[in-house]
């Protein structure tokens, strides 16, 4: 059995709303370890119905993450998908959990930390929760692992990634924050967005799918795969530039409030499109964070 664990980040969009107790914004201010212990207590005492993580998360980014298992199967692997979560730690997507709201993203109402150092400490606390899986063990058992995470989550998981590198397991890191000796990193490249399709939000998962398409069947890393990927990326790269004006958070918030009053049924995606059509610049995650803090989910 050619098992391939695939680690992806969770999404803030859920199929059911969390209770106030499981929103990180309601945690008391103060010592991080105390806050983490309180979060663990709330998770343990949650009385709302748990849901399999694969069904709890939603949105295009999550659909793309789930589709990685199909790409891995076509590449000759038996995939097993894991979600890295700021509220739960590392868990198989088949595991059950209540709906919750917690993220490492800055400027978000449910952000659990304010720095990369705190994020790393918080992650270590999460990994002590019942049900959390150890990344190094997962990779060692399978002999390989594909990790698809943003820079923000890579900072939080930095100690796990170093321990993973030390195992010698065949590892590809898509995205991430920096090079890790012993791990093959494929940085997210915005110049490939046109070739891969979709938005920058799903660039990591689309890059991972493309890497799997270039793999030698049944092998995650090989000279042939690296050469094939490199040649394709060099040919497919198309730099993108937009003549849009960066604006402060207050301008974005005022726009969101105005448009929601005029078009109350408009989705966040449509509002971002309207915003950009006016010649103003705002990265998608930043717009999503401001939308959530202004309007809610």
Q: Rounded to an integer, what distance in angstroms lies between the CA atom of residue 141 and that of residue 124?
A: 21
For residue 49, what are the contacts with CB-CB under 8 A and spacing of at least 6?
A: 98
Separation CA 203–CA 74 (nearest Å)? 20
The reported pTM is: 0.82
pLDDT digits (tens), the chain, 297 positions: 799 999 999 998 899 999 999 999 999 988 999 999 999 999 999 987 899 999 999 988 899 999 999 999 999 999 999 999 999 999 999 999 999 999 998 778 899 998 889 999 999 999 999 999 999 999 999 999 999 999 999 999 999 999 999 999 999 999 998 899 999 999 989 899 889 988 778 899 999 999 999 998 989 999 999 999 999 999 999 886 656 778 889 899 988 988 877 767 677 887 887 888 777 888 888 888 899 898 876
| H-type alpha helices, the chain | 32-44, 53-56, 60-74, 116-126, 135-142, 151-156, 158-167, 193-196, 203-214, 223-236, 249-262, 268-277, 284-294
């Amino acid at each position: 059995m050619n098992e391939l664990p695939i680690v992806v980040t969770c999404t803030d969009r859920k199929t059911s709303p969390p209770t106030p107790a499981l929103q990180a914004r309601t945690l008391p201010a103060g010592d991080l370890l105390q806050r983490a212990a309180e979060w663990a207590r709330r998770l343990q005492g949650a009385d709302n119905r748990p849901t399999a993580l694969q069904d709890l998360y939603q949105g295009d980014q999550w659909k793309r993450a789930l589709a990685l298992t199909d790409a891995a199967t076509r590449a000759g692997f038996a995939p097993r998908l894991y979600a890295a979560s700021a509220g739960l730690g590392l868990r198989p997507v088949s595991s059950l959990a209540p709906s919750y709201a917690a993220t490492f993203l800055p400027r978000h109402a449910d952000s659990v930390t304010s720095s990369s150092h705190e994020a790393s400490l918080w992650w270590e606390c999460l990994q002590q929760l019942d049900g959390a899986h150890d990344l190094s063990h997962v990779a060692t058992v399978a002999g390989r692992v594909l990790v698809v995470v943003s820079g923000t989550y890579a900072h939080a998981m930095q100690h796990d990634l170093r321990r993973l590198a030390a195992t010698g397991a065949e590892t590809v890191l898509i995205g991430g924050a920096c090079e890790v000796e012993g791990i093959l990193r494929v940085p997210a490249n915005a110049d490939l967005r046109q070739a891969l399709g979709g938005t920058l939000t799903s660039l990591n998962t689309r890059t991972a799918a493309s890497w799997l398409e270039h793999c030698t069947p049944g092998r995650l890393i090989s000279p042939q795969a690296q050469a094939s990927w490199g040649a394709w990326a060099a040919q497919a790269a198309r730099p993108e530039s937009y003549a849009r004006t960066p604006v402060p958070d207050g301008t974005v918030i005022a726009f969101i409030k105005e448009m929601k009053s005029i078009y109350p049924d408009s989705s966040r995606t449509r509002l971002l499109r309207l915003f950009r059509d006016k010649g103003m610049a705002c990265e998608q995650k930043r717009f999503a964070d401001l939308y959530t803090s202004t309007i809610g989910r």
